[in-house]
Structure 1
C-alpha cells in the first residue's frame, strides 16, 4: 500500500520548508543574509541562459548515476559501485575510441556511447557474478571494485600508455575532435549528452512500468525469495539488473570526458557515483524524480560559486545543504509511511 499522492506532496513540501529554514540558519551563521545567499544561489544557477545551461551540464552525469541507482535499488540490489562503473565506462570508451582517432564523428561518437555502456555494464556484471556464483554481498564487492578501478586508471595515467607526455597532472591527451559530443547551443557548454540522459530516463521509466523485466524488478523489491519460489531465475535477474545499472553509470563517464573536459583523468569523473545514490533517494527511485533531483543538485553546484563571490559563504557549504535536503526529505517520507502504517493498524 502506497501513501496517497496528496499526503506525499504535503510531506515533501513540509520537508522542503524545514530544509530551507535550516539552510537559512547556516547562512546566517556564516555571516551572510539568508535572502542574499538564496538570491545569489538562484541567480548563479538560472540567472541567464548560460547559467541554466551550465546547471544542466552538471546535472547530466547525476541523471545517469541516479538512474543507475534507481534500477538497482528498486530490486533491492544495493549497487554502491556506480562510482567504479562511471570510471569503467569512461575507460572502455576511451580505449575503443582511441583506436579510431581520425575516423568520422558518425563512427566515433556511437563507439564512445557504446563503449560507455559496455564498460559500465561489464564492471557491474562482475559484482553480479560474485553475488550469484560465490555469494559475495554486492555492497562489499561493489565498494571494493570502486577502489580497484580508480587505482587501475591512476596506473594507466601515471606511467602507462595513456599518460600525456610532459603533463603535470595524471591525464590523457585531448581526445580527437571527431569523438566529442556535439554542443546544443553556441556560447554554452550544454552538450547532447543531456538529451541522451533525458532519453535514458524515459527508457528506464518504460522498462520499469511496461516490460516483464520491470515487473520482476518490482516483485524482487517486495520479496526476492517469493519470486524465486514462483520459478523466476533470480540469479539471472540479479545479473541483468546490475548490467542495466552499470550501463547507465558508464554513460555518466563518457558525458564528462567527451562532453565537458575532452580528456580522461580521475578528478573530472570522481564523486558522481556516490552523488547518484543521493539523487535516486531524493527522487524516490522514480526516473522523473531522479531528473528533478539531478537538476536541483546541478543548480546547487553551479550557483555555489556566485553565492561565495556575492556573500562570502563558502561554496563547500553546498555539500552540507545537499545532506540537509536528503535528511529532511527522508524524514518526510518516513513520516508519511509511519502515518500510513498507523492508519492501516487502526
Structure 2
C-alpha cells in the first residue's frame, strides 16, 4: 500500500459517497432486524438532525466539542505525534476553567469569561506539554504517556467532585458533580438559542487558526516536515524536541477549549459524564476529516447531526436505544475506510520465485 500521488477530488468524493451508502445500508439492516420501521426511523433521524432551525442549532451544539477535539487530533497527527491524550486534555481544560471560575469570581462579566476560557486553554496545553517533554527528554512513547495521563486526570476529577473540595453538598445528587455555575460565567448564546453558544464560534476560529498555522507559517512547515521526514528536518537544523512540544501545546490547548465549551456553554456544572468520550471520538472525527481542518469541521457537523437526530429516532420510530451508538460506530468505520481508500492504493510487489 502506498499513498496516491495525485489524488483526484472526484475519487475522494466517490469513496465517501460509497461509504455513506454502505454505512446507511448496514444501519438500515440493524433497524429492520429490531422490528422498527426503517423509512420512519431514517426520516426521524434526518428531521432531528437538520430538518428545522431548532434541529440545526442542536446539531451544531453537539458538533462543537467534536470539532475541537478533532482539530486537536489534526495538529498532533499531521506531525505524526500519536497523541491519544485528547480525552484527558478535555478534562484538564474543564478543570482549569473551573479553577479560573473559582479564582476570578467578581471580575466584570467579559473579563470573567475571558479568564475562564484562558485557564481552560492553559489546562489542556499543560497536559499536552507534559507528554511532549516526556517524549523529548526521556523518550517515553507518547501513546503510552497520553493514555496514562487520561486515566490520571479522570481519577483526579472524580476525587475533586466525588468527595473532594469541588463536590456539591446535597442529598439529591445522583452524579458526581460541582454545584451550578453562576450565570455570569456562562458562555454567551448565539442566534438567540440557549443550546448554541460561543463555543461554536471558538471551534470555527480554531479551525481557521489551525489551517493558517499548518499551511501558511514556518511552524506549519516544520510540523508537516516532522510528519514526512524528521531525519531531513533535523539535518536542516530544526530542533525536533521544540517542535514536538509546540505541537502538543497547540493540540492540548484546542482540546482544553472543548472542555471549557461543554462545561461553561452547555452543562453549566462540572460533571465527568458530560465530558466522557469526547476526546476519543474527536480522534475519529479528525481521521474522517482527512487530518484537514475544513474536513474536520464537516465531519464534526455530520456526526453532531447524527447524535442530535438519534434522539428523534428513539422517540418517534421506537428504535432501541442500544442501536443508535452501533449505527454511529458503523458510519464512523465506513468513513475511516473511505479515507484510507481515498489516500492510499494497493500496489502489487513482485517477489523473486
Q: Same fold (TM over 0.5)?
A: yes
The equivalent residue for 2:199 is 193
Structure 1 spans left out of the alignment, 5+ residues: none
Structure 2 spans left out of the alignment, 5+ residues: 349-353
Is 1:300 aligned with 2:306?
yes
The equivalent residue for 1:129 is 133
- 8 Å contact kept, 2:288–2:339: no
5 Å matches for 1:1-346?
1-166=5-170, 168=173, 169-339=175-345
Cα distance in 1 between the residues matched to 2:22 and 2:268: 40
Partner of 1:280, secondary structure, is helix
Cα distance in 1 between the residues matched to 2:341 and 2:270: 44
Count of residue pairs the alignment pairs up: 342
Cα distance in 2 between the residues matched to 1:43 and 1:305: 11
Structure with greater helix percent: 1
Cα distance in 2 between the residues matched to 1:246 and 1:164: 28
Offset of residue 209 of structure 1: 0.7
Offset of residue 61 of structure 1: 0.7
Offset of residue 74 of structure 1: 0.6
Offset of residue 85 of structure 1: 0.3
- 8 Å contact kept, 2:286–2:296: yes
RMSD: 1.5
Partner of 2:229, secondary structure, is helix
Offset of residue 159 of structure 1: 2.1
Q: What are the Cα deviations for residues 37-57 of structure 1, in whole angstroms up to 9, with x where unaligned?
A: 110001112222222111111
Partner of 1:126, secondary structure, is helix
Task: Say if 1:336 and 1:162 are closer, same or farther in 2 by CA, change over 3 A.
Answer: closer
